[in-house]
A and B are shown apart, each in its own frame.
Chain A
Amino acid sequence: MLGFLARRLLYLVPVLLAVSLLTFLIASLLPGDLAYVILGDQATPEKVAALRHDMGLDQPIWWRYLGWLGHVLEGDLGRSFRTGQTVLQAVSERLPVSIELMLLAEGIGLLVGVPLAIACAARAGGAFDRFVTGTAFGMLSVPTFLSAILLIYLFAVELHLLPATGYVPLAEDPLANLRFFVLPALTLGLAEWPTIMRVLRSDMIATLQEDYVALARAKGLTPWRILFVHALKPSSLTLVTVTGINIGRLIGGAVIVESIFALPGIGRLIVGAIYTRDLVILQGAVLLVAAGFVVVNVIVDMLYAVLDPRIRHGHA
């Protein structure tokens, strides 16, 4: 198990290097010159040249990348030219918001998706299965910006049950915090459950056709016991993968939902950094999110090992 973990962690190094290189390249290729952004509309060519020199923007890109990487390896991700905040400050201020949103959304997705998948798989092809599969297909096609606005109009503007926008830190007032998270988490959860449901349903249907399930039936075990005890665990490998990928995606990917509900999370930090050409924040935040994504994937790999002993023992 330890060897497995060590191998996994070793993979992290090239992956993160590749991510950092890509981030740096893409950020540098963004149109618009940072010197002009900082100096504003009224910059003169001489001032621009001077500032570019000061910021090292006149150096070749590979040299700037190596310089940046050197600082990152020393633990210095840099400081925003705009706010004066360090990348670590900016990210750590916003990370709790994104993580809470991600966990709640994924929780809602699993809470809705898993029971529905089991119910559907139990009577595959039945009326309930067809209805749920159809609904899931419909929900998959609804973009989050639409469902977010519909939920806001229903619950905030019409019914006055929940706030439309805003945020209260968890430590300040847990209940109020939860109230602010209901609609955004619901918006994301509504988009998450169909994938979860579909993946688990098809795996369960396959598992339920295995010989050992037939044997269990023949032994006279209750259908309930067969579904939950014998079929669910072996069917959940793909589910774990999908959940893991979703979690990684949601850490930095809830951009639209964070903007609509005005949640101060990582997604909005990154979008703001792009708009203002705050490359230091952009590169740093994307690198940290990518690192998070990779770590989640390592955890997922380890969960495989827990779920399936064949992987653990290295003969999968």
Chain B
Amino acid sequence: MGAKIRARNVASIFLVAAFAAALAAAPASAQKQGGSITVGLELDIPGFDPLKVGVYDTSAETAAAAIFDTLTTLDDEGEPAPKLAVSWSHSDDFKTWTFKLRPGVKFHDGTPFNAQAVKENFDRQKDPANKCRCAFYVAYIHDVEAADEMTAVFHLNDPQVNLPALLSLQNTNEVMQSPTAWKTKGDDYSRNPVGTGPYILKSWIAGDRMVLEKNPDYWNKGHPYLDRIVLKPLPDAQSRFASLQSGEADIVWDDEADPDNIQRAQKDPKLTVHTYEGSGAQVSAFNTKTPPLDDVRVRQALVMALDRKKVSQAITNGLARPATNPYGDGSWVKCKDDGALPEDAEKAKALLKDYGKPVEFKMLVTATPRGRTIGQVYQQLWKRIGANVEIEQVDQATIPPRAFMRQFQLTPWRIVDLADPDPQMYANFHTGSPVALANYSDPELDRLLEHARTTADLDQRTEDYCAISRLINKQAIWFWSFQNTYYAISNARLKGLPKMYGGVIDVSDAWLD
């Protein structure tokens, strides 16, 4: 989010050039029409009905990006740009946002896209009777009002200065689905999704392939370029990469846990490695109510003992990028001073000596090869400064309940890639929040979090968030290990991929050279 949202004192109207060519950033001559590609994803896609699936995973988001549209999109600078909404404005307190919608857009089933459709999409998620897991993520929205045919007004519970950016995600909450379709198809809707997007679902064999065909009536004339996109779940990393090498797949999902293939692809002229250094990080939280972690010296010593470069080398051949704050390189929050503690084993030893008592505690790790390795490396690093850590391996699904019930001393957690830090920072650190895992309360921290969410000025917000980072780093209630980085590998002919915001491989505007 570049520094474009400056405070306008009165009637702060923030208009975006209505038909900005935001979707056609590359030179127009380069794109070629036609052709078909196969995308190798990690997981089977369960479906698209928010009430059924709750939240899309990255595989479902790739499909959603092609089948559906969102009100806004992010350009290459991370600025919100028009998509189904052509312009927007907000009230002084950032609690009311008015979106003018694109006229003449129709869902694949012929249903007109209008303010009523936007309203129904959000109403359905928020309806308590529907008990949608997705509702949490739109809790900040009070309701959406269809002011007229082409004007949707969002009334918010909390001020949200970055709403247009938040609405750009290709996830359950933000993609516009056809109300007619979910009403008429009922239980079958989830596997027969209908959107306004550039591709139409043609066929879908569960666990094997989803075939998407070009939408001939797409509102953005000249787009999309490809005639057909085939999405396949290829769960095994080795055979996924082999499928790319043998030409059966044109682009495949990958991640840091597979560094050998990423590094091999980087040297291969026939392949392109797409990577996005996102916002957010892999993090860990101390339970500050349990000794010895109730002592700030102990927590600081443990954080100082982390040699992140060495850990990265051990688990990802050095691909994982060390993190010193919760925001990451992909965030608009850039701190001159984020207050990161030095990585200094000697200082750490001195702090523990000062503490005087033996330091012993348990850490939760996920029972995966990667979780185990991380646990063992941390254990070794902490042993060197005289702290004895016991590793408790638990299933991935066990971590949230243990964390919520505060049945842990140190737990892994994740800050995901969102366009604005507020939703997660507020939830993770404000006193009384169920996910404020550290059990730590500080009026100054609460004040900064509240100020940051109600301030429009980006410089001021940056200052707030940097002060928050300094405070958390100093108290060492959480620590950040690695920044979120996303990977996809494609054959070199595939062009036109936007940045992988949120880790989504978006091939909806790609072409073959």
Instruction: Give the segment of B25-33, B48-56, B113-121, B161-169 that binds chain A.
Output: B48-56
Residues of A within 8 A of B391 (CB): none
Interface window among B74-82, B228-236, B470-478? B228-236
| Residues of A with C-beta under 8 A to B54 | 38-40
| Distance between Cα atoms of A51 and B435 in the complex (Å) | 19
Do the beta carbons of A84 and B52 come within 8 Å of each other? yes
Chain A 19-57 interface residues, beta-carbon cutoff 8 Å to B: 30-33, 36-45, 48, 51, 54
B254 to chain A, nearest CB (A): 15
Set of chain A residues within 8 Å of B396, measured between Cβ atoms: 32
Q: Which residues of B contact A268 (CB under 8 A)?
A: 44, 207, 235
CA distance A269 to B396 in the complex (A): 19
A39 to chain B, nearest CB (A): 5
For B235-260 the 0/1 string (1 means CB < 8 A from A) is: 11011101101111100000000000
Q: Which residues of B contact A58 (CB under 8 A)?
A: none
CB <8 Å contact, B246 and A164: yes
B427's partner among A42, A94, A160, A272 (CB-CB below 8 A) is: A42
Which of A125-133, A145-153, A235-243, A283-291 lies at the binding interface? A145-153
Report the Cα distance A81→B187, complex, angstroms: 11
Choose, from A109-117, A201-209, A214-222, A257-265, the stretch at the interface: A257-265
* Contact A264-B207, Cβ < 8 Å, known A38-B54, A82-B53, A165-B240: yes
Contact partner of B190 among A83, A152, A156, A264, CB < 8 A? A83
Which size bracket describes the interface of B in this complex? 35 or more
Check if B180 is an interface residue, CB within 8 A of chain A: no
- Chain A CB within 8 A of B400 CB: yes
Is B397 an interface position by the 8 A CB rule? yes
State which residues 208-266 of A face B: CB under 8 Å: 259-265
Instruction: Give the residue among B191, B240, B246, B405 with the most A Cβ atoms within 10 A.
Output: B246
B133 touches A39 (CB 8 A): yes
- B47 touches A (CB below 8 Å): yes
Is B205 at the interface (CB under 8 A from chain A)? yes
Q: Residue A276 at the B interface, CB < 8 A?
A: yes
Q: Nearest Cβ distance between residue A108 and chain B, in whole angstroms?
A: 20
B208 in complex: contacting residue of A30, A167, A276, CB < 8 Å: A167
Query: Roughly how many angstroms separate A80 CA and B8 CA in the complex, as a whole number?
Result: 50
A31 and B206 contact, Cβ closer than 8 Å, known pairs A84-B187, A166-B243, A276-B46: no
**Interface residue count on the A side (C-beta < 8 Å):** 52
Q: CB-CB < 8 A to B245: which residues of A?
A: 156-157, 164
**B238 with A149: CB separation less than 8 A:** yes
Quick check: A32 and B398 within 8 Å, CB to CB? yes
Is A308 on the interface with B (CB-CB < 8 A)? no
Q: Knowing A37-B397, A38-B54, A262-B236 touch, does A166 contact B206 (C-beta < 8 A)?
A: no
Does A85 have its Cβ within 8 Å of any Cβ on chain B? yes
Q: Is B19 an interface residue (CB 8 A)?
A: no
Are B235 and A259 closer than 8 Å at their CB atoms? Answer: yes
Asked if B246 contacts A160 (CB within 8 A), the reply is: yes
CB proximity of B278 to chain A, nearest CB, Å: 18
Which A residue's beta carbon lies closest to that of B51?
A84
Q: Answer yes or no: B270 CB below 8 A from chain A CBs.
A: no
A41 touches B246 (CB 8 A): no
Question: For residue A169, which residues in chain B have a CB less than 8 angstroms away from its CB?
Answer: 205
Please tell me if the beta carbons of B205 and A84 are within 8 angstroms of each other in the complex: no
A78 within 8 Å of B by Cβ? no
Indicate which residue in A37, A38, A83 contacts B47 across the interface (CB closer than 8 Å): A83
The interface residues of chain A lying within 8 Å CB-to-CB of B247 are 160
The verdict on A76 contacting chain B, using a C-beta distance below 8 Å, is: no
The yes or no answer to A90 lying at the interface (CB within 8 A) is yes
Q: Are B133 and A262 in contact, with the CB atoms below 8 A?
A: no
CB distance from B235 to the nearest CB of A (A): 5
Q: Does B131 contact A (CB under 8 A)?
A: yes
Known: A40-B55, A163-B248. A93 touches B242 (CB 8 A): no
In angstroms, Cα B427 to Cα A44, docked, is 12
Judge whether B401 and A36 touch: CB under 8 Å.
yes
CB closest residue in chain B, given A183: B239
The listed residue (A42, A48, A160, A260) touching B236 by CB distance below 8 A is A260
Given contacts A82-B47, A84-B49, A166-B208, list 13 more A-B pairs with CB under 8 A: A30-B397, A31-B398, A42-B136, A48-B404, A84-B52, A84-B187, A148-B239, A152-B238, A163-B246, A167-B205, A260-B236, A262-B239, A264-B207
Q: List residues of A whose CB falls within 8 A of some B CB.
A: 30-33, 36-45, 48, 51, 54, 79-85, 90, 93-94, 148-149, 152-153, 156-157, 160, 163-167, 169, 259-265, 268-269, 272, 276-277
Could you list 15 A-B pairs, sorted by A, with CB under 8 Å? A44-B404, A79-B187, A83-B53, A84-B49, A84-B52, A149-B239, A156-B245, A157-B245, A164-B248, A165-B232, A165-B234, A166-B243, A262-B232, A268-B235, A272-B207
